[in-house]
Amino acid sequence: MMVIQNPILKGFNPDPSILRVEDDYYIATSTFEWFPGVQIHHSRDMIHWRVIGYALDRESQLDLKGIEASGGVWAPCLTYDEEDRTFFLVYTIMRSTNGNAFDLDNYVVTAKDILGPWSERIYLNSSGFDPSLFHDDDGKKWLLNLEWETRKGYEHPGSIVIQEYDHVLKKLVGHPERIFCGATNMGCLEAPHIYKRNGYYYMMAAEGGTGFGHGVTIARSENLLGPYKSDPCNPIITSARVVNLNRRNVDDYLKLYQYNPNSILQKSGHGSLVETQNGEWYIAHLCARPVLPEIRSMLGRETALQRCKWTDDDWIRLATEGCMPELQVQEPLLSPHPFVSEPVREDFDSGVWNVNLNSLRVPFEESWVSLKERPGYLRLRGRESLFSLHKQSLIARRLQSVHAIIETCVEFEPERYHEAAGLTLFYDQNMFYYLRIYFSETLNSKCLGILYSDNGTKVELVESRRKIKDWNRIYMRAVIDEVKLFFYCSSDGENWEQIGPVLDASKCSDEYSSSGHFTGTFVGICCQDSYRKSKMADFDYFEYREV
């Protein structure tokens, strides 16, 4: 007998929007400042999942240059019009949160096939984030989102608003109406979804902030525009230490004091419902697994599944009859459908992009990254530093375990101090570790050393740098052992030596960030050239292995 083992989507896969189309299940997750945008996962048994692609794969859909870390794509909502046989995806591009103004735009794209091509984006509104699209049984479509409140003296963060979307005219029609202000006093209302069943419209929302006080709430109405009555058992999901703590009008989203030592899955909230072919109900929700003792979520916010049931009086609850999320969940009555395991090493031989690899803010373009110029290698042309918000030459994948080995081999000949290439553990431009090859004028030699950013403070460990003047190929390795990060180097890929001290990997986390960011850690390869932006680095392979 198999069970659903949570989290089902490990490592930086927040804000899940789950959807079933016939026998196939899909989950769309937020990608923030990473490119391509909106990662799409597929399953046929809800136990085994794989990444099948992205909905936003070009700049005309997704313009991210200059966007601050933790901006970009927030909370996509994936739906399907069965009559029109069309997928709809609505999403936010958060452009700035400066001054708490939250400058953003909401868009919709469509596709006949989940694999695309997805349409050019259609602008919807800019009043607030977490948009979702509800297809009513009369054929009308309705856009919901949190209307972000910016005025002093008004309850923060705002209300859920609804407005009709005309798919033929491809625009919103009528006027937005405020229909919901939250089902509890937990505060930080967001992530609205509407479902219809047995004559009721159900408003599912996230409350409590996307930190340790997070939860899923539900309310219902016989009318789409309300009023909505709160479930007396709200929240229906939370891992918070104190349930229903009154925090209306409080901006602190992290709420570290709500950490619950009795739960492995923390920050549980932001839910999305799905019904199986056999009438079974599940809810996808985000969660996190912080490492101790500092309580830091290196892997970011992940996605879990919980089994649900309907009560006799038509409320939906967890099948366990509590509100605490479970690590192991009873599987649905579906035939097992495992996928072939993905190889741990990408040799760059196929000439096709590995679906797990991402870039930062910009799409893959031959002008700066190529699988063709030197077959069997990934060639990076150096551009801006890892501190940049614009044009980095960085290729990376999600860290999905706190026990992992990451390895690469690079050929790189720096001629001046402006040029560098290597291996990075990257949270954002303010928090990363970088094992780099560079030219030292002091030593008059090609060297290997560690540079990192600690909440925006640049640190160079010059005392532990090593000359590698005669090395043509440099093998580089990062070993992550929970909170510990070790860097190694080798000239032959067999004999390894440690470079630098043991570092604190847990700093790459929401909880350590002094900027209020909330994404997750990536591991990757990169190249910089601040002189002429022309120096090339050739990477022979990239290996990610969980241990």
| Res 36: pLDDT | 98
Q: Which of 15, 207, 529, 538 is catalytic?
A: 15
> By C-alpha distance, which of 7, 6, 78 is closest to 37?
78
* pLDDT at 1 > cutoff 90: no
Q: Which residues pair with 456 in a beta bridge?
A: none
Question: Tens digit of pLDDT for each residue in 5-20?
Answer: 999 999 999 999 999 9
Contacts of 168 (CB under 8 A, 6+ apart): none
Helix-strand-coil split of the chain, %, nearest 5: 0, 50, 50
Query: How crowded is residue 471: how many other Cβ atoms within 10 Å of its Cβ?
Result: 18
Radius of gyration of the chain (CA): 24
Show the beta-strand stretches assigned E in 83-228.
86-96, 103-111, 122-125, 132-135, 141-148, 158-166, 171-180, 190-197, 200-207, 215-221
What's the pLDDT score for residue 468? Answer: 95
User: Tokens 């640049």 belong to which residue?
Assistant: 458
Please list the residues that pair with 204 across neighbouring strands. 193, 218
Q: In whole angstroms, give the CA distance from residue 251 to residue 100.
A: 10
Angstrom distance (rounded) from CA 501 to CA 505: 12
DSSP classification of residue 142: E
Burial, 152: exposed, middle or buried (Cβ in 10 Å; 0-12, 13-18, 19+)? exposed
- What span, in angstroms and rounded, lies between the C-alpha atoms of 438 and 369? 20
Whole-number pLDDT of residue 516: 86
Encode pLDDT of 432-447 as tens digits. Answer: 999 999 999 999 999 9
What is residue 59's predicted lDDT score, i.e. its pLDDT?
96
Q: What is the pLDDT of residue 239?
A: 98
Average pLDDT over residues 218-240: 98
In this prediction, residues 250-255 reach a mean pLDDT of: 88
pLDDT of residue 252: 85
The question of whether 190 is a catalytic residue gets the answer yes
Supply the pTM of this predicted model: 0.97
For the segment 196-224, the average pLDDT, to the nearest whole number, is 97
Q: Which residue has the tokens 């999305």?
A: 272
**What is the tens place of the pLDDT at every residue in 86-141?**
999 999 999 999 999 999 999 999 999 999 999 999 999 999 999 999 999 999 99
28-71: per-residue pLDDT in tens?
999 999 999 999 999 999 999 999 999 999 999 999 999 999 99
> Rounded CA gap, 431 and 291, in Å?
17
Q: Which of 130, 190, 326, 407 is catalytic?
A: 190
What is the model's pLDDT at position 249? 84
Task: Look up residue 243 and give its amino acid.
Answer: V
The pair of three-digit structure tokens given for residue 353, joined into one six-digit string: 């992009």
Domains in the chain (CATH in brackets) are 3-330 (2.115.10.20), 345-546 (2.60.120.200)
Give Cβ neighbours of residue 62 (< 8 Å, ≥ 6 apart): 35, 36, 37, 56, 72, 73, 93
Q: Report which secondary-structure segment, H or E, holds 39.
A: strand 37-43
Q: For residue 148, what pLDDT is reported? A: 96
Confidence category of residue 282, pLDDT binned at 50, 70, 90: very high
3-state secondary structure 224-248: CCCCCEECCCCCCEECCCCCCCCCC
Predicted pLDDT at 57: 97
* Nearest Cα to Cα of residue 521 among 508, 534, 507: 508
Average of per-residue pLDDT across 409-426: 97
Percent of the chain with pLDDT over 90: 96
**pLDDT of residue 250 exceeding 90:** no
Whether residue 482 lies in the annotated active site = no
